[in-house]
Structure 1
C-alpha cells in the first residue's frame, strides 16, 4: 500500500490519461468503424474496395508498427501534433477495423427482407441502413463489441512508449526509481482490471436495456 500512497498522484494521472485516451479513441473508432461497415455493404464498388483494404491493412498490422508509422511518418508529411493526438489516431485507426467487422457481421444477421421492405417504401440506401438495418444489427453485436473496447485500454499501453504519460509510463517511471516490480505490476494490473470490468458492465447494461423481447 505504501507504493500506492507514496505515488498516488502519479498513479491517478496515469490512470486518468489512460481512461481519456481509451474513451476518445473508442469514440472515433466507433464513428469510423460504422462508416467503414456502411462502405463494406455499399452498392458502390469503390467504397467496398476502400473499406476492405482498410480493414485488411489495419487488422493485420501490429499496433506497435502502426504507432511508429503515425508518430514518425506523419511529421514527414508536415503533420505536427502532440503525442496524445498521435496515439488517438493510431488507436482509432486500428480499433475501427475491428469495429467495422463486428458491425458487418451484425448487418449480415438482419433478414434481407427488412432491407427490401424499406426500399419498397422508397427509402434510400443510407436511410435503410441507418434507420432499419443498423439499429437491429447493433443489438446483436453488443457482446463481441464489448470485447473490442475491453481490449482498447490494454492496447493503449503502447502509447506509453511514445511519450504519453499513461499507466505504462507510470510503471516505467516507478521501476526506474527502484520500487519492487511485483508491487508496481499489481497496482497497474488492478487499474486495468477496473477499466475492463467497467467497460464490460456498461455493455451488460446496454444488452439488458436493448434486449429484444422474444
Structure 2
C-alpha cells in the first residue's frame, strides 16, 4: 500500500521538516512584478532641481549682476589680451615645470645618495613656501644679487650682467611659477614611474635593451598613463594660480579685471567676466586632458568607451533611423 502525504491547505504554512518543491513556470507567471521605488533618490533629485532653478532665476532677475556690463567687457580688447598673457604664463610654466620635475623625479629614483638628497630637499623647500612668497622673492632678486655672472667657482668672475636687466617682471613670474610647479610635477612623475612593474625592466635588461631605451620606450609611456590625471589637474591648478602674479602688476586676467573695476566700481560684473573666462579655459584643458588620456590608454584598453561626440552621433543616427521607419526589403529578398 502506498501512502500519499496530505497537502497543506492553500495559504497555510508548510509543516516543519517538509521539503518544498521549486515553483513551476505557471506559478512564476502568476507572480506580480513590482518595480523598486526609490523615493529618497527622487526627493533628493527634486530638491536639487528646485535649488538649481532658484539659482538660475536669481542670476537672470537680480539687477546687481549687471549683465549688460558683463557683455560689454567679456570680449573687450583689454580682457582678451589679458587672457593671452594668462595662457602664456600657464604654457611656459607648465613646460618648464614638468621638464625640471621629470629630472628631479629621476634624481630621487636614482641610487646616488647625493642626487636623492638634493631632489628631496628641492621638493621639500618649494612645496613648503607659498607661491606668492616665491614670486615676491624672485621679483626682488635684484636687491639680494645686484649682478649675476659666470666664472671660476670661488674664483674670479669672467662675465656678469645686471640682475634687474636679466630678470624682468615676466621673467621673475615664470621663474617662480616654474620652480614651484616643478616640485609638484616631480612627485607626479615619480608616482607614475613607480606604478610601472619592475619585472618589465628586468625582462628588458635581460634582453640587452639599453637603459635609456628602457626609460624612453617602456617606462615613460606606461608612467604617462598613470600620471596624466594628476598632471592635468596640476596644469589646471597652475592656470588658476597665475592670478597670484597680480602682486607683480603683470597684466594677466585677474589683474586687468581689478584695474577695470577699480576705476568703474562695477565689481560684480567684472568678477563674472574673470569667472567666465576661467571656466572656459579650464573646460578646454579638461577636454584636452580627456583625449590625451584616451590616447595613452590604448595599450591597456583595446576597445575604449565611445567619446561624448561619438555617443551624440550614435544617438542622432538612432533617432533619424527611428523617424524614417523600417526600410523595405529588396525585391530579391522578398521573392526568396
In the alignment, structure 1 residue 119 sits paired with structure 2 residue 187: no
Q: SS state of the match for residue 135, structure 2?
A: helix
Distance 1:6 1:146 in 2: 30
Structure 1 counterpart of 2:61: none
Larger Rg: 2
Q: CA deviation at 1:126?
A: 3.7
Structure 2 counterpart of 1:66: 134
Distance 2:237 2:262 in 1: 27
Q: SS state of the match for residue 95, structure 1?
A: helix
Q: CA deviation at 1:95?
A: 0.8
Structure 1 counterpart of 2:104: 36
Normalising by structure 1, report the TM-score: 0.93
Relative contact order higher in (CA < 8 Å, ≥ 6 apart): 1
Distance 1:74 1:107 in 2: 39
Structure 1 counterpart of 2:187: 101
Structure 2 counterpart of 1:135: 221
Give the conservation status (yes or no) of the 8 Å contact 2:224–2:296.
Answer: no
Q: SS state of the match for residue 140, structure 2?
A: helix
In the alignment, structure 1 residue 177 sits paired with structure 2 residue 244: no
Moved over 3 A (4+): 1-4, 121-127
Q: Which runs of 5 or more structure 2 residues have no equivalent in the other structure? A: 1-67, 148-162, 303-336
Normalising by structure 2, report the TM-score: 0.60
Give the conservation status (yes or no) of the 8 Å contact 1:106–1:141.
Answer: yes
Alignment coverage as a number of residue pairs: 214
RMSD (CA atoms):
1.7
Distance 1:144 1:134 in 2: 15
Show the 5 A alignment for 1:5-84.
5=72, 8-73=76-141, 76-77=144-145, 78=147, 79-80=163-164, 81-84=167-170
